[in-house]
Structure 1
Amino acid sequence: MSLLDLTIRNVKRNFRLYSIYLFSMIAGVIIQFTFSSLMYNEDVIAALQNRSNFQSGVAIASIVVYLFIIFFILYANTFFMRQRKKEFGMYLLYGLNERQITRMVFYETLLISAVSLITGILVGGLLSKLFGMLLMNLMQYDQAISLAFPIEAIAATAGVFLLLAIIISVQSFIMVNRMQLTELFHAKQKSEKPVRVSMALALLAVLLLGVAYGLISSGKGSVFWQDYGTLSLIASTVGIIAGTYLFFRQFAGWLLRTISRRRKYHEGNTVLWTSSLRFQIRGNTLNLTFISLFSAAIMMLLCFVTINYKVQFEAVGRNLPNDIAFQTLDAATNERIDDVISGSEHKVRYHLTHELLVAASVTDMHVIIDNPEMYMPELLLVSEKTYNELIEQRGHKVSVKLQGNEAVALSQGSDFPKSYAPGEQPAFIAKTDQETAFAIVDKKDYAYLGWSTDPVKSMNMKPAVLVISNEVYEGLRGHAEARTYEIYGIRDARNADNLSKQVHAIVSQTPDAYYSSFADVYSKQIEGSSLMLFASGFLALIAMFALASVIYFKQLREATEEKMQYAVLRKIGVDNRQIKSVIRKQLLFVFLPPIVLGMMHSWLIIKYYILESVKDFTELPSLVAGIIAVYFIIYLLFYASSTKLYYKIVSENA
């Protein structure tokens, strides 16, 4: 019998075991091909404004996706190989050498890879249309996506999985060569020893997690983070990592030991599911710690990019509140620009010419704005009348009413906007050809003139603007340089990329002239945030499968090893209903704690360090809760699947 014949017989004889491995491979191909095909889909590319950025982003994300797939498949292969140790021992006993076994495994891998590629590409091609439509919907583009199987994506996926097949063969060769013949025969007879636990270390786990949670929930405005930021970060990180490890290593063991010492311990089936878990703690600690921490990281990533996507639509408007705005130039140039805008398909809603005064700051700029390095060095003064006129056109309810030397600072992007009570108003001195002291009554997260932009380079810097009373403004007009700005409101500003390029080309002929356009940033920001959300969704999907497989495959291996114990239980009178109850409780203790801890870690960090910064978006907390709930439900499905298969394995030949 040739090695190829032996390979085919192995696949037929162990089809159930191979089917689990095959499913892992098919899932990897589907995800890889679906994601890669979008980079070459002509309909997707045609809809984008920033094609090169999209393709570069997808290429980078594809590498990350592939790394996750490698982890997922290699872990599945490790489980697969361990399940076959006794089989390999038989082959060695019959005279096959390690190289022949490795070649047989390589044939199996090629066969499984071929089936996975064909199935995965067919299913992935169908899904790529669905996901392409989803991506267009995220970007809010009305673009039809046709069913396509790009040759480039097929070749890339085939090459990737051929390389993966080689990696799997090398891994299998190393595993086979490291095993002794006696170890291969008795691999399933090894048992782990229960870990030694103490109440002190169990309490330390709770204390470390409590300290970390306390620091996190104190918020970034607390004294801990304001005055001792580095120490708080270290304490929180150590508390979460070490606390999670000790929770599974000591607290879980201590809890099981405490349960075993109860008077009613031997009533019901408690003794059956707890005794097995006590022996599994040593081997499960690192896995469960990794799953908990990595789950938290994945949920935080997914929640962050989702929040980023949701706020982008409003954030672009806040950063660039004017559809088109530029510094007034000579009359001929202004007229030429007006003709270009008026003659475009974007109807003009309003056109304002506003005067502002140029000043310099004497007081530290941190008093009126956050992150002064993002602002132009000069300070612009605008009268409340002029400011309110523009606010009325925008339809925003942020008008101001000032008296005397009162002023409002426009600190767009501020994390801590603030209104000051009388007596607490900070003083700010601005200099024209004379110094004028202002009392800051309000620091608003708002912009009068947005970031200066460029159709290619996107955002550059933004003007610092101070709103002052009409009477003070009139008094300063003869003592400062006056500068005027042309501000346009147009229809369908989000699709005015071509118009913006035309206007920018004219304005940029005057060196250092201010220019700002909503369209210059909108497509880049929305396409970028949509791609981030889309890619993160794929990464989260792969990560969930990979992390759940760590538990899933380990429990299946343990089920195979414990078939004899369950056979004994049946002989002494334990019925199937009780066995199912034991399995459910045992696996629940393994599946539930890591995902619950991961959810707690991620929720606290998201709540106090992300959601606190976007309080205006009231729908975001429920959105975050929904994402975490979906993650939890998927793990429950893995749990249900594991219990069903676990029972099926231990019931074979019963």
Structure 2
Amino acid sequence: MSLLDLSWRNIKRDFRLYSIYFISMLIGVIIHFTFSSLMFNDDILAAIKNKNNFQIGVSITSVVVFLFIIFFILYANSFFMKQRKKEFGMYLLYGMSERQITLMVFLETCFLSAISLVSGILIGGLLSKFFGMLLMNLMQYDEVISFAFPIEAVGSIILLFVVLIGIISIQSYLSVRRVQLVELFHAKAKMDKPLKFSAWLALCSILLLATAFFLITQKGDSVFWKDYTMASMIAVTVGIIGGTYLFFRQFFGWILEKISRGKKYYEGNKMLWISSLRFSIRGNTLNLTLISLFSALIIFLVGFISINYTVQFYSAGREFPNHIAFASQDEHTQKQIEQLIEEDHPITGHERIEGLSAIPVTDRGIAYGAGTDNFMEEFLLFSESQFNDIVSMRGDDGQVNLQEQEAVVLSVPGAKPIKFTESNQPKFTVNLKEETTFNLVEIKDYTLLSKATDSSGDVGLNPSVLIISDEAFERLKQGEALASFDIYQIEDARNSNALSHRVHDLVSKTPGTYYAAFVDLYSIDIETSSLLLFSTAFLAVIALFALGSIIYFKQLREATEEQRQYSILRKIGVDDKEMKRVIRKQLLFVFLPPILLGMLHSWFLLVYPSMEEVKDFPQITSIISAVLILYFAIYTLFYLSSTSVYYKIVTAKNAMS
């Protein structure tokens, strides 16, 4: 019999074991091809406004996906090879060389790789349409995404598996080299010795976690974070990492030990699954700790990026509230612009405002603090009535009522607003033809005129704007040249890219003319945040599979080692139904604690303080809930799958008696 025939017969004979390995490879192909095909999909590239940022972002993510998949498949292969040690020992006993066994494994890998490549590319091509539509939906584009199998993506996945087959071959050869013939005569590995559990260390784990959670809930201006920042950061880090490790190493085992000493320990099947868990704590502690911590990190990152994505809609509207704004044009150009806008996006509001240009005499730090470099040197002065008209047109609150020499400085959204008391109003002097001093009554975080924009984003600095009383404005404008601006609000401003480009072309015929449009920044921001959210969620799913596989393969390895114990249970009268109950309870206590503890960590990190300022946004709660549900659902699938395979392994006909 040739090695080729032997390889194919091995796959057919023990398909259950090979199927675990095959599914790992298939998932790897589907994930990588799905993501790669998005990068080269013509429909998506046609819809994206900023193609360079998209391709750079997707390229970086694809590298991370590539590395994750290599880890995922190599971990599966490591499990696969350890399960076959006795088989390899038998081949060596029959006279096969290490080189022949390695070649046999190489041929098996090629068979499985070919099947997984063809199947994975077909499934990945179908899924890429769904994920492409999801990405377009996140970006709020109405583009139709067609089924596609880009040749670049096919080449990329083939290259991945060429690299993988090479690495797997080396890994397999090293595994075969480590096989000893004596392993043929040992049915299982040495079992872990039971740990001694300390009530004090178990309590210490709870105290460490409680301390970390307490510090996280404290606000930034509390004494802990204001005066002892570094100490608090160290305490949180040590509390979460150390507390999680001790929780699985001591508290978990201490609880099981207490249960084992209870009066009802010998009732039902408690003794069977609890005793098995107590013996496996030593080997599972590090895995469970890493899974819990990385799960918390994954959920936190997805949640944080989701918050960023949701807030983009709000922040873009506050920072660039004018759908289209530009320095007033001559009558002919103005009519052309209005006609363009009406044809494409009907006008819902239009105001023309006139301002005075003035040089500040007083230090601008009074108005902008340390952020003066972000504002133009020259100030634009507008009357309160013009400002109130714009506020009303936008449907906002925050109109002003000023008297005589009172004035309001407009800062950027997000800056700390300040209302000065009557006895504490700073003086602010500007120079037109002569110096004029105003009393600042308020610094308002509101945008009248945003930064100038073009198709590449925002350009230049924020206009420095001072709102003064109508009386003062009427007095100062006498004999002065006025700077005039037209501000338009339109329907469906989020999809007005083409209109903005046409209007900008008309306005920019005069070099240096002010122009700003909401969509110029919105389209870039939303594309960037959507791609970031999409990539993070995609990587999170891969990471969940990788972390879940750690528990999954570890439990299947333990199932192989416990075949003799379950064989004895069957002989003493434990039926299949009872055995399944034991396995389900045993694995539940392995899968559930790291999931719940990881969720708890991420919840504290998200709510305090990440979500504190934006917790009123209803979409955020929905997104975080969706992330947690998806996370839990994936681990539930791992749990159900592992219980099924675990049962099949321990009840196999060749289980040692």
How does the TM-score come out when normalised to structure 2? Answer: 0.90
Instruction: After TM superposition, list the pairs within 5 Å mapping 1:404-443 onto structure 2.
Output: 408-414=408-414, 417=416, 420=419, 427-433=425-431, 434=435, 436=437, 438-441=439-442, 443=444
Range 62-71 or range 635-644, more displaced:
635-644
Aligned to 2:585: 585
- Residue 342 (1) aligns with residue 330 (2): no
User: Deviation of residue 88 (structure 1)?
Assistant: 1.3
* Cα contact 2:249–2:285 (8 A) shared by 1: yes
SS at match of 1:613: coil
Report how far residue 649 of structure 1 moved: 2.2
Shift of the 481–118 alpha-carbon distance from structure 1 to 2, 3 Å rule, reads same
Structure 1 residues 605 and 471: CA distance shift in structure 2, 3 A = farther
| Structural mapping, 1:399-478, within 5 Å | 399-403=399-403, 408-414=408-414, 417=416, 420=419, 427-433=425-431, 434=435, 436=437, 438-441=439-442, 443-444=444-445, 446-458=446-458, 460-471=460-471, 473=473
Write the distance in 2 (CA, Å) between the matches of 1:516 and 1:550: 52
C-alpha deviation, 1:429, in angstroms: 3.9
Counterpart amino acid of residue 261 in structure 1: R
CA shift digits 1:373-406 (9 cap, x unpaired): 5444555444322211111111223323345666
Q: C-alpha offsets along residues 283-322 of structure 1, whole Å, 9 cap, x if unaligned?
A: 1111111111111111122222222222322322222111
State the match for 2:520 in structure 1: 520
Shift in CA distance, 381/13, structure 1 to aligned 2, threshold 3 Å: same
Tell me the equivalent position of 1:63. Answer: 63
Inter-CA distance 312–24: structure 2 relative to 1 (3 Å threshold):
same
**Corresponding residue of 2:41:** 41
Residue number in structure 2 paired with 1:171: 171
Kindly tell me: are residues 180 and 353 of structure 1, through their superposed partners in 2, closer, same or farther at Cα, counting changes over 3 Å?
Answer: same
Question: Which amino acid is the alignment partner of residue 86 of structure 1?
Answer: K
Aligned partner of residue 432 in structure 1, secondary structure: strand
User: In the alignment, what sits opposite 2:228?
Assistant: 228
CA distance in 1, matches of 2:518, 2:401: 28
Deviations 1:105-128 (A, max 9, x none): 111111111000011111111222
Report the equivalent of 2:8: 8
What is the SS of the residue equivalent to 1:189? Answer: coil
Q: Displacement of 1:479 after TM fit?
A: 12
Shift of residue 522 of structure 1?
2.1
Distance (Å, rounded) in 2 between the aligned partners of 1:514 and 1:609: 39
Residue identity opposite 1:83 in structure 2? Q
**What SS class does the counterpart of residue 353 from structure 1 fall into?**
strand
Alignment deviations for residues 241-284 of structure 1 (CA, whole Å, 9 cap, x no partner): 22212211222122222222334333332222121112211111
In the other structure, the counterpart of 2:355 is 355
Do residues 544 (structure 1) and 544 (structure 2) align? yes
Q: Which moved more, 1:151-160 or 1:111-120?
A: 151-160
Distance in 2 (alpha carbons) for counterparts of 1:435 and 1:246: 69
CA deviations on 1:499-537 (whole Å, 9 max, x unpaired) are 433444565576765432112122222222222222222
The one-character-per-residue Cα deviations of 1:463-517 (angstroms, maximum 9, x if unpaired) are: 3444444445556667999644332334443333344334445655767654321
Cα distance in 2 between the residues matched to 1:408 and 1:272: 75
Worse-matched range after superposition: 621-630 or 354-363: 354-363
Residue 58 of structure 1 deviates from its aligned partner by: 1.8
Distance 1:361 1:104 in 2: 85
Give the AA of the match of 1:574.
V
Question: Are 1:633 and 2:630 counterparts?
Answer: no
Asked if 2 retains the 8 angstrom alpha-carbon contact of 1:410 and 1:443, the reply is yes
Distance 1:208 1:87 in 2: 47
Q: Secondary structure at the match of 1:35?
A: helix
What's the CA shift string for 1:349-390, capped at 9, x where partnerless?
414233155453846748657855544455544432221111
Is 1:84 matched with 2:84? yes
Matched residue SS, 2:355: strand
1:436/1:117 Cα in 2 relative to 1: closer, same or farther (>3 Å)?
same
The question of 1:397 aligning with 2:394 is answered no
Distance of 1:52 and 1:367 partners within structure 2: 38
Alpha-carbon distance between aligned partners in 1 of 2:481 and 2:254, rounded to the nearest angstrom: 75
Identify the residue that residue 320 of structure 1 maps to in structure 2: 320
Give deviations 1:415-452, integer Å, cap 9, x for gaps. 7x5575858x96444331347464545644x3222233
The answer to whether the 8 A contact 1:361-1:379 is kept is no
Q: Does the CA contact (< 8 Å) of 2:54 and 2:531 recur in 1?
A: yes
Task: Report which stretch shifted further, 464-473 or 544-553.
Answer: 464-473
CA distance in 2, matches of 1:431, 1:230: 43
Change (3 A) 1:369 1:582: farther
Deviates more, 1:130-139 or 1:291-300: 130-139
Closer, same or farther: CA 251–383 of 1 in aligned 2, 3 Å: farther
Contact between 1:611 and 1:621, CA under 8 Å: does it hold in 2? Answer: no
The answer to whether the Cα contact below 8 Å between 1:337 and 1:503 also exists between their aligned partners in 2 is no
- 1:562 alignment counterpart: 562
Once structures 1 and 2 are overlaid, which stretch shifts more, 124-133 or 558-567? 124-133
Task: Give the secondary structure class of the aligned counterpart of 1:397.
Answer: coil
**What is the CA distance between 1:575 and its match in structure 2?**
3.2
1:623 aligns to 2:620 (yes or no): no
Residue 241 of structure 2 corresponds to 241
Deviation digits for residues 151-197 of structure 1 (CA, Å, limit 9, x no counterpart): 22111111112211211112222233244443575473321122333
Counterpart for residue 495 of structure 1: 495
Deviation readout 1:80-136 (Å, 9 max, x if unpaired): 111111111112222223222222211111111100001111111122222222222
Q: Counterparts of 2:630 and 2:134 in 1: how far apart (Å)?
A: 18
Query: Partner of 2:277: helix, strand, or coil?
Result: helix
> How do residues 68-217 of structure 1 correspond to structure 2 at under 5 angstroms?
68-183=68-183, 186=186, 188-217=188-217
Greater Cα shift, 383-392 or 304-313: 304-313
Distance 1:286 1:542 in 2: 21
- Give the secondary-structure state (helix, strand or coil) at the position aligned to 2:31: helix
Instruction: Tell me how far 1:203 sits from its aligned partner.
Output: 2.0
- Report the counterpart of residue 52 of structure 1 in structure 2: 52
C-alpha change, 1:613 and 1:435, in structure 2 (3 Å) is: farther
Partner of 1:643: 643
Q: Which amino acid aligns with 1:202?
A: A
Query: What letter matches 1:147 in structure 2?
Result: F
- TM-superposed deviation, 1:595: 0.8
User: Does the alignment pair 1:485 with 2:482?
Assistant: no
Give the match for residue 272 of structure 2.
272
Cα drift, residue 26 of structure 1: 0.8
